[in-house]
Every structure is written in structure tokens, then in C-alpha cells.
Amino acid sequence: MTDARPPAGGAATVGNVTEVAADGQPVTAAASRRGNAVPEPQVTTMFDSIAPVYDRMNTLMTAGLDGRWRRSAVRAARLSRGGSALDVACGTGKLTVALAGAVGPEGRVLGVDLSPAMLDQARLAFGELVGVEFRVGNALALPVADQSFDAATIAFGLRNLSSFEDGFREMARVVRSGGRVVCLELSVPRPRLAARVYEGTFRLMAPVVGTLFRRRTAYRYLPHSLDGFPAAEEIAATMRRVGLRDVSFRRLALGAVALHVGTVA
């Protein structure tokens, strides 16, 4: 979870964008939004309310695959022992701690999130780990100096930002030259039929799972957070606009998840 301030006038959209996918084929994406229009306090309150059950619900909704996806994100960051990483929208700290495993006890990892309750869960589980820190912070105004880290990551938090481009710009700002910016996020499968099946299933499953944990109202937000969300090709284009180079992505889970990587110039 992280910043969700709406841009003036509500959610902005962009016109059709033609990109080249990893397979070399041109892809024209429908108009999509540039950020989340849900007010930041509302999103923060929602994530505060689901913090105690967040990890269990994620494991259930992803059939346990979320751990595998996080490991892929850690590998994409290409961290070395003794290195440093910033985990944006860190939530309960699962990816933060996975990054800490890559840099070792001599390294440094900072997890930043706007939800105090999510950070409470992170500190409860991982607060005593050497080299790991959790801090309240805004993804669009990260509380760290320029070029402070070897890599910056965001997992399943980009769609909560009020500006996707500004989020990537901030991540690029805090990473040294040659370091990596990694984004792991939900996506929509490319075949139209598969996309419709996926979206329909997600819209039905999230509230049902939320009901099991007595969080139905909060989990109605999650399917809608994908409404108008940019395609993987558009996310890659956004990363390039903020100056990241060698941007690439790959689809996971039959296209339901996308892993983007860019290098800071």
C-alpha cells in the first residue's frame, strides 16, 4: 500500500499508446489512467483495516505463488552482499526481508509505506533483523537522499499511487547510477478472452475472500484498482519517460502479473 492522492480533476487518462512487446510485436493499448483517483486517506484507512489478515489473504488469493513472484523480483534487483535496497509500498515487509536476504547482515534495506498498521505487522515479524528498517513514508516524496540505494522495488503497490510516473521518478532518484528499479504488479493477460475471464474471476474472488476474513468492504477496492490500469507495455513506456534505460518486462502467472526492470542512467 502507498500513496493514493488523486490528481486535480480526478483520474487522468492517456490516449492509445503503441508499444513494442517483448516478442517484437506492436501492441496498441487502450486509454488508461495515469494514477489512482481514490483519496489517499481512504486507501490508507483501508490498508490499516486489513493489515492483520493481509498476508493470509494474499497467500490464499495467489494460491501461494506470491512468494515465488517476490523471489523473482529480488533476482531482478541484482543485489550483492553488503548492498542496499529500498522497498517502496512495503506493506507487511515480505519483499523487504527477501531483499535483506540478498544483501546479507552487512547490507541495508529500508521498507517505506503510508499505512502505520501494515508497518506494525512488518516490525512485529521482522523488526529485529539486522540491517532492516521500516519507516512511514510517501512513495511520491520518499524520505531518503538522492542515489542512496543500489536498487528500489515496489510490489503490488504501483496501482495505489496517484501518479505512476512520479512514483517511478522518485524510485529512480534514490538509486545510484547503474542500479535497478524493479516493479512487480498485477496485470491483465493479453488474449482478450483470457483477460475477460481473469477480470471476472478476480472481481468475484476478492470480495468472497474478504468476506471469509470479515473484510469484504475493504477487498472490494482491489479488483477496481485494476480498472483502467496501464498494460505492461505502457508501464514500460512510463519507466522510459522518467529516464530509466534498458527497460524490460516479463509476464508471470499466464499474464496475471508483470515484472518490470529498468536501470538508472
pLDDT digits (tens, 9 = 90+) for 210-240: 566 556 566 666 667 777 899 999 999 999 9
Residue 20 has pLDDT above 80, yes or no: no
Confidence of residue 16 (pLDDT cuts 50, 70, 90): very low
More confident residue, 23 or 181: 181
pLDDT cut 70: percent of the chain above it: 75
Q: The CATH number of the domain where 82 resides is what?
A: 3.40.50.150
Residue 28 within any structural domain of the chain: yes
Residue 31 within any structural domain of the chain: yes
Nearest to 230 by CA among 131, 163, 152: 163
The amino acid occupying position 135 is: R
Residue 6 within any structural domain of the chain: no
Q: 34 with 11: CB under 8 angstroms?
A: yes
Residue 202 within any structural domain of the chain: yes
Q: 132 with 96: CB under 8 angstroms?
A: yes
Confidence of residue 24 (pLDDT cuts 50, 70, 90): very low
Residue 30 has pLDDT above 50, yes or no: no
Q: What's the mean pLDDT in 107-117?
A: 98
What's the number of domains the chain is made of?
A: 1
Q: Which of 107-116, 173-182, 243-252, 253-262 has the lowest mean pLDDT?
A: 253-262
Task: Identify the domain containing residue 62 by its residue range.
Answer: 13-263
Q: What's the mean pLDDT in 60-86?
A: 94
State phi, psi for 106 to the nearest 5 degrees.
-85, -5
Residue 5 within any structural domain of the chain: no
CA dist., res. 146 & res. 164, Å (int): 19
Nearest-10 crossing angle of helices 54-61, 116-126: 90
Residue 78 within any structural domain of the chain: yes
- Output the pLDDT for position 199: 57
Residue 79 has pLDDT above 90, yes or no: yes
CA dist., res. 92 & res. 102, Å (int): 18
Residue 200 has pLDDT above 90, yes or no: no
The cell for 251 is 509476464
Each residue's pLDDT tens digit, 121-137: 999 999 999 999 999 99
Q: What's the mean pLDDT in 139-154?
A: 98
Residue 120 has pLDDT above 80, yes or no: yes
Residue 253 within any structural domain of the chain: yes
Residue 101 within any structural domain of the chain: yes
Task: Please give the mean pLDDT across all residues of the chain.
Answer: 83
Each residue's pLDDT tens digit, 150-195: 999 999 999 999 999 999 999 999 999 999 999 999 987 775 655 5
